[in-house]
Amino acid sequence: MRDYLVLRVIAKLMITFMLLFALYVQFHGDFGPGGGFQAGVISAAAIVFYGIIFGLQAARKVVPDWLVETMIGAGVLLFAGVGVAGLLLGGNYLDYFVLGANPVDGQHRGIFWVELGVLITVAGVMLKIFYMFAGRGEGGGE
């Protein structure tokens, strides 16, 4: 697939658009449809697209294995960490209204960090699953 010029050019255009769209969906999840899960899946799909067109080795160079594995754990830790922060600042676990100056600000901040944690974990897991499935055939056949 590396030799088809049209596919390569279109892929480069579309991948940047897809990543940008994933970020837009993530940060506009408050005002329109969207949120962490959709953004995570879309950004993972962008990297998978890159891997399909340019080869699994190239994708592994761009997003290496250790980064993906770190992402999987980091998102859950971020989410749990927001809960613990609520605990340390005086409320119950996963209370957001203690995180800011007034309750609504606290809610905004809490929801932002929580959605970010969701994005990181979902993108990491989807990408890791793709790497595992695609890498399975490489070791045996190709």
CA dist list (Å): 34 to 6, 79, 108, 110, 127: 31, 18, 15, 17, 20
* 114 in contact with another protein (CB under 8 A): yes
Among 11, 15, 45, 85, binds another protein (CB under 8 A): 45
CA geometry: angle at 28 spanning 23 and 30, to 5°? 140
- Cβ nearer to another protein, comparing 54 with 79: 79
Q: Which two tokens stand for residue 68?
A: 């993906």
Q: Which two tokens stand for residue 23?
A: 């970020």
* 64 in contact with another protein (CB under 8 A): no
CA 98 to chain CA mean position, Å: 27
**Residues in contact with another protein by the rule CB under 8 A:** 25, 29-35, 37-38, 41-42, 44-45, 48, 72-73, 75-76, 79-80, 83, 94, 96, 103-105, 107-108, 110-111, 114-115, 117-118, 121-122, 124-126, 128-130, 132-137, 139-140
